[in-house]
């Protein structure tokens, strides 16, 4: 579904979720009877629309105006405006007015600890936090020949994995699909 959006993403280098990760995400939603979703990082609305296709309402946050406009355009075009609410804001400034069954975090990769800390109070008990791109193309902060910026980001992703694995509020596991998924259940 949404092949047109996939094509657009490829052409314009928009990093949308990989097929196998999306399959896992959709299965988690079905198997856990998820009824409400918060997403951080909308981009062009591809993952939002894919999840909303299961007939589940989503609030999704995007801080980039070009992406936000593109997402609104796509969500309107496919007729999902009633199910998908796009908020134009930095996710670290957003305060939800309800709690969710699933939070999908797919925004700035260096901020994942902050996102989890900020949004855990808005996750229902037994709810899931799923985070994309925790493998970051298989790169490691100890690799040679990478830029300082990239090394710093890889360190942050590695620190995040430590943090979430050792967070006593959650049961967490990592899946080696797509670009790596972290899946945490609030105890
Ligand atoms: N979830 C999308 C892809 C998102 S790409 C999909 O799979 O289809 C990551 C997006 O997160 C980018 O559009 C970027 O602008 C946005 N983003 C990064 N940090 C953010 C933040 N702090 N708040 C809101 N959006 C953010
Ligand atoms: Mg992603």
Q: What is the pLDDT of residues 4-17, one digit of tens each?
A: 999 999 999 999 99
Mean pLDDT within 26-47? 98
- At residue 22, the pLDDT reads 98
The pLDDT value recorded for residue 1 is 82
146-184 CB burial, b ≥16 within 10 A, e <16: eeeeeeebbebbeebbeebeebeebebebbebbbbbbbb
Q: Is 135 in the pocket of ligand 1 (CB under 6 A)?
A: no
CA of 41 to the centre of ligand 2 (A): 8
Residue 186: phi and psi, rounded to 5, are -75, 120
In percent, the amount of the chain with pLDDT more than 90 equals: 97
Atom of ligand 1 nearest to the CA of 22: 7
- Closest-lying ligand to the alpha carbon of 58? 1
pLDDT at 138: 87
The best mutation among 3, 4, 42 to test binding of ligand 1, ranked by most ligand atoms within 8 Å of the C-beta, falls on: 42
Please give the pLDDT value at position 130: 98
Instruction: For residues 36-62, give the mean pLDDT.
Output: 98
- Yes or no: say if 131 and 112 are a contact pair by the CB < 8 Å rule: yes
Nearest atom within ligand 1 for CA of residue 41: 11
User: What pLDDT does 186 receive?
Assistant: 98
Residues 29-49, mean pLDDT to the nearest whole number: 98
Average pLDDT, the chain: 97
DSSP-based three-state secondary structure for 128: strand
Query: Measured from the CA of 43, which atom of ligand 1 is nearest?
Result: 13
Q: Is the pTM of this model over 0.95?
A: yes
CA 127-103-136 angle, 5° bins:
120
Ligand 1 atom 10, closest CA? 41
Q: Is the CB of 25 under 6 A from ligand 1?
A: no
136 pLDDT higher than 90 = no
Q: What is the pLDDT of residues 51-107, one digit of tens each?
A: 999 999 999 999 999 999 999 999 999 999 999 999 999 999 999 999 999 999 999
Cα of first residue to Cα of last residue in the chain, in angstroms, is 34
């Amino acid at each position: 579904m949404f092949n047109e959006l996939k094509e657009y993403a490829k052409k314009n280098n928009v990093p949308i979720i990989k097929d196998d990760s999306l399959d896992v995400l959709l299965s988690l939603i079905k198997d856990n009877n998820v009824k409400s979703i918060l997403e951080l990082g909308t981009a062009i609305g591809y993952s939002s629309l894919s999840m909303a296709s299961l007939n589940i309402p989503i609030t999704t946050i995007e801080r980039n105006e070009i992406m936000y406009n593109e997402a609104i355009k796509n969500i309107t075009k496919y007729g999902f405006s009633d199910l998908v609410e796009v908020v134009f804001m930095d996710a670290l400034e957003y305060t939800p007015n309800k709690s969710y069954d699933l939070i999908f975090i797919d925004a700035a990769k260096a901020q994942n600890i902050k996102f989890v800390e900020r949004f855990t109070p808005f996750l229902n008990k037994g709810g899931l936090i799923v985070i994309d791109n925790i493998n970051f193309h298989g790169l490691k902060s100890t690799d040679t020949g990478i830029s300082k910026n990239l090394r710093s980001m890889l360190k942050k992703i590695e620190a995040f994995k430590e943090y979430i694995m050792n967070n006593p509020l959650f049961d967490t596991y990592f899946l080696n699909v797509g670009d790596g998924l972290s899946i945490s259940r609030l105890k």
